[in-house]
Each structure stands twice: as C-alpha cells, then as structure tokens.
C-alpha cells in the first residue's frame, strides 16, 4: 500500500527547531522523526511514500537527495576511504514522491492535492508524520478490512501528562484522574483509508472534521485500539522525551530491530 505522509505543517509549538527545519525533520537521535516513521512502515512492507510538502519542504527534499545510509547502518571502509560497503540498507528500495501541497493547507487539502498519485489504490495508509508507535500495523490493516468501512485510525491513550476533570451535578469537581487512567482515547494519527474517502471530502475541509462526521453518520468510520507504546511529538518536551528514550536504547517504536533478551 502507498503511504501518504503529511509533512507540511509549521510545528509552531516547537520553535526551537521550526525556524530552521519543518517539524517532520526534528531529529530523534541521528535521524529525523520522519525517517523513524518511514522505517516503521517499510518494516511491514509498505515502501511507496507520498510526501505532502509545505513549510520548508526543501529541507526534506535535500535530506533525501543527499541521503547518507551509513548514518544508521554498519559498513566496511576500504581503499583509503574511497570505498564504502554497507553491511545493511534501509532506504535502498523506498520509492518517494515529493509533492508541494501548499504552505498553509490543512490535512484535508493536502490529501486532496495528492489524489492523482493514489489512482488505482483501493486502500492506502496515511499519517500526520509527528508520532511514533509499536502498534502491529498488519493487525490495524486486518481490522480495517474486517470492518469493511471507508476509514480507520489508531486509537490510543494520550501520552501527555494531564488530568481529566469530572464534575458533579452541582458543578463542583468530583474527581481528577490522570489521563492515562481515565479511559480517555485519542486519534493516534495512523490512518487506513479506502479510496472512497474522497467521496466524503469537500474543498477546504479538514480531514477529521467534516469528512469524518459524514463517515460517522454513514457508519463508515472505525478505530483500532492499541494499548502499547504511542507518543505524539507536539512540543519540545515531547521531542526531548523521545530522544532520551532513544539514547537509552528503549525506543519501542523500532519494530525493525530484533528484541533484546
């Protein structure tokens, strides 16, 4: 399946990086979060990517045009440094389509802008390009196929540390619950979409607002619950936590690596 990646946002809550690079290029370890996400999809055999570019899209183009596989793979150097033999490869068989979808376009508009590149694809995958997970992608796709709906998304517990407030009948606070203990679920940004999604979209609309409301009305939207690892990267603090997790060797989203005994 083709994978649509929404890479055009400005990431205003990550000003430490967003003045020089787009949000998907914020590094986790030696690689941008976008690479980690693409590596996740490629592990499950989905290697045909459509990158919806916008804000500082040239940085993403330059990164892949000057891609250095030796940064994340072992290699043998010989002939005085003139010959490099990679012992493994990650992106050699990736296919990437780079599409300028506008500086200020929303997610729905970006998806509409790449519609022609999805012709012939009955089902495709899509992602916000700012979150990571260890969710079993084949199960997400299988759940979608079993449900026979137009759209599905990964449903997760929020990773941010905030409290959910409950009120009693008098308007007083009756409880404060940690978000991860409240039963609250959020859209994790990993989508499986049938091509019929375009029948539910109108010009200028955001994907998960009006189109998803129409899907709900027609009973055509489903979700896959995942209780494992998921983390969104909305703020600088989120990025720091992901990077620290990576540096400690606890990056559970690296499903392509063999488990450590």
- The confidence score (pLDDT) of residue 146 equals 96
Average pLDDT, the chain: 89
- The confidence score (pLDDT) of residue 143 equals 97
CB of 240 within 8 A of CB of 22? no
CA distances to 172, 181, 201 from 168, rounded to whole Å, are 5, 19, 39
Task: Give me the residue label for tokens 């022609």.
Answer: 116
Higher pLDDT, 20 or 14: 20
How many CB atoms lie under 10 A from the CB of residue 76? 9
What is d(CA 103, CA 120) in angstroms, rounded to the nearest whole number?
28
CA–CA–CA angle 110, 114, 118 (5° rounding): 135
Structure tokens at 175: 């409880």
Q: What is the pLDDT of residues 156-206, one digit of tens each?
A: 988 665 566 767 777 777 666 665 666 688 999 999 999 999 999 999 999
Is the pLDDT reported for residue 10 higher than 80?
A: no
- The confidence score (pLDDT) of residue 85 equals 83
Q: Using CA of residue 95, residue 122, residue 196, residue 156, what is the dihedral sign?
A: negative
- The confidence score (pLDDT) of residue 14 equals 58
Domain 2-157+185-247 annotated CATH 3.90.550.10 = yes
Contacts of 147 (CB under 8 A, 6+ apart): 222
3-state secondary structure the chain: CEEEEECCCCCCCCHHHHCCCCHHHCEECCEEHHHHHHHHHHHCCCCEEEEEECCCHHHHHHHHHCCCHHHCCCEEEEHHHCEEEECCCCCCCCEEEEEECCCCCCHHHHHHHCHHHHCCCCEEEEECCCEEECCCHHHHHHHHHHHCCCEEEEEECCCCCCEEEEECCCCCEEEEEEHHHCCCCEEEEEEEEEHHHHHHCCCCCCCCCHHHHHHHHCCCEEEEECCCCEEECCCHHHHHHHHHHHHCCCCCCCCCCCCCC
87-101, 108-122, 206-220: least confidently modelled range: 87-101
Q: What is the pLDDT of residues 29-38, one digit of tens each?
A: 989 999 999 9
- The confidence score (pLDDT) of residue 180 equals 62
């Amino acid at each position: 399946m083709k994978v649509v990646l929404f890479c055009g946002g400005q990431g205003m809550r990550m000003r430490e990086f967003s003045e020089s690079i787009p949000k998907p290029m914020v590094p986790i370890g030696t690689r941008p979060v976008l690479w980690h996400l693409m590596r996740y999809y490629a592990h499950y055999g989905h290697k045909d990517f459509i990158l919806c570019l916008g804000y500082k899209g040239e940085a993403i183009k330059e990164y892949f045009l000057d891609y250095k596989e030796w940064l994340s793979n072992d290699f043998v150097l010989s002939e005085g440094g003139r010959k490099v033999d990679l012992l493994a490869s990650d992106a050699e068989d990736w296919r990437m389509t780079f599409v300028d979808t506008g500086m200020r376009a929303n997610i729905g508009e970006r998806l509409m802008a790449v519609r022609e590149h999805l012709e012939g694809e009955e089902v495709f995958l899509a992602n916000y390009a700012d979150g990571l997970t260890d969710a079993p992608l084949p199960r997400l796709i299988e759940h979608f196929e079993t449900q026979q709906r137009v759209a599905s998304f990964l449903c997760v517990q929020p990773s941010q540390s905030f409290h959910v407030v409950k009120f009693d009948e008098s308007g007083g606070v009756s409880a404060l619950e940690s978000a991860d203990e409240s039963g609250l679920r959020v859209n994790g940004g990993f989508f499986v979409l049938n091509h019929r999604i375009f029948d539910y979209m109108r010009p200028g609309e955001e994907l998960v607002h009006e189109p998803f409301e129409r899907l709900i009305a027609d009973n055509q939207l489903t979700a896959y619950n995942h209780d494992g690892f998921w983390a969104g990267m909305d703020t600088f603090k989120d990025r720091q936590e992901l990077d620290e997790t990576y540096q400690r060797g606890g990056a559970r989203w690296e499903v392509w690596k063999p488990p450590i005994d």
